[in-house]
Amino acid sequence: MEETDLHKPLLLESQEDGVVEQALEEEEDKQRSGLKKVWLGLIALVLAIAAVIAFCNNGSQPLSDIDLLATVVMPGVDISNLNETTPQYRALEWLAYNDTRVLTIWLAYNDTRGLTINDDAIELLERFSLATFYYSVGGDSLPKFDNDWLTISSHCDWRDVNCDEDGRVTALKIYHSKMHGTLPTEIGNLKRLRDLNLSLNELVGPIPSEIGNLQQLNRLRLDGNKFSGPIPSEIGHLQQLKHLGLQGNELSGPIP
């Protein structure tokens, strides 16, 4: 009597189920891949439209809400009382009217009202701080900065700006460059800065006390400028500081 393999139908059924399941998974992968391409295409389209708008308007219409930007980079400051000729206001205007990269950051978190400082807000803050620095030291009148600053690329790609793997500014080395004007308080927003070298320029006014916010600072060179006033006591609180250059200025008081 011929024996019947009772397990054969079960094995065939199991194989068929596996084929169907694999086909379904492949179809789901295709759908996910398609949605991803659509999403990336939409982002590229939005950025392209923003760039065209910026070019056509030539700065006549804002790409972003300037008041909303101010809540991120200047919390607690009423910008209606801010003089439009100040470096801070000019930096805000650049972010709002010309910096299409801001739109990329807005896409990362669209509702920023009542926001907390996350990575995207920190990128905006550092971008604003560098733009303020640029206007404060006369960057718009110096060939050194031509086409290398205030571009829509990452500020980590700007000339003489170095960043870590998180995109945070770690070094700003712009020496012997004929910079003039003042060092803005916003320099204190670059809290991962380890090397600040602005020596041999023509910077005037006081050294801002906000320099004390740079707790990771290892080297500070402000020598060969025209800084005046007392040496900030906050410099004495920089525990990581190993190299300090202040000579050749008009500073007063002891080195902390």
pLDDT by residue (tens digit) across 191-202?
999 999 999 999
The stretch 84-90 carries a mean pLDDT of: 95
How is residue 186 written in tokens?
């916003």
CA atoms lying within 13 Å on the CB side of residue 191:
5
Amino acid at 148: D
Name which of 73-82, 114-123, 167-176, 226-235 the model is least confident about: 114-123
Q: Estimate to the nearest angstrom the gap between the alpha carbon of 25 and the chain centroid.
A: 40
DSSP H/E element including 36: helix 8-57
Greater pLDDT, 5 or 210 = 210
Tallying the residues shown for the chain, one arrives at 256
DSSP 166: T
Average per-residue pLDDT in the chain?
80
How is residue 227 written in tokens?
């800084």
Q: How many whole angstroms separate alpha carbon 60 and alpha carbon 11?
A: 71
- Residues with Cβ within 8 Å of 197's Cβ and at least 6 positions away in sequence, in order, are 171, 172, 173, 174, 175, 219, 221
Question: Between β-strands 202-205 and 195-197, what pairing exists: parallel, antiparallel or unpaired?
Answer: unpaired
Name which of 11-20, 70-79, 128-137, 138-147 the model is least confident about: 11-20
How is residue 86 written in tokens?
């100040």
How is residue 234 written in tokens?
């906050």
Detail the DSSP E strand segments found in the chain.
161-163, 169-173, 180-182, 195-197, 202-205, 219-221, 226-230, 243-245, 250-252
Q: What confidence tier does 99 reach under pLDDT thresholds 50, 70, 90?
A: confident
Q: What pLDDT does residue 2 have? A: 47
Q: How many whole angstroms separate alpha carbon 56 and alpha carbon 75?
A: 31
Q: What pLDDT does residue 62 have? A: 55
Q: What pLDDT does residue 76 have? A: 84
The stretch 212-225 carries a mean pLDDT of: 98
How is residue 140 written in tokens?
């718009």
pLDDT at 176 over 60: yes
**8 A C-beta contact, residue 89 and residue 96:** no
Q: How many whole angstroms separate alpha carbon 128 and alpha carbon 93?
A: 10
- Residues with Cβ within 8 Å of 215's Cβ and at least 6 positions away in sequence, in order, are 191, 237, 238, 239, 240
Q: What pLDDT does residue 114 have? A: 43
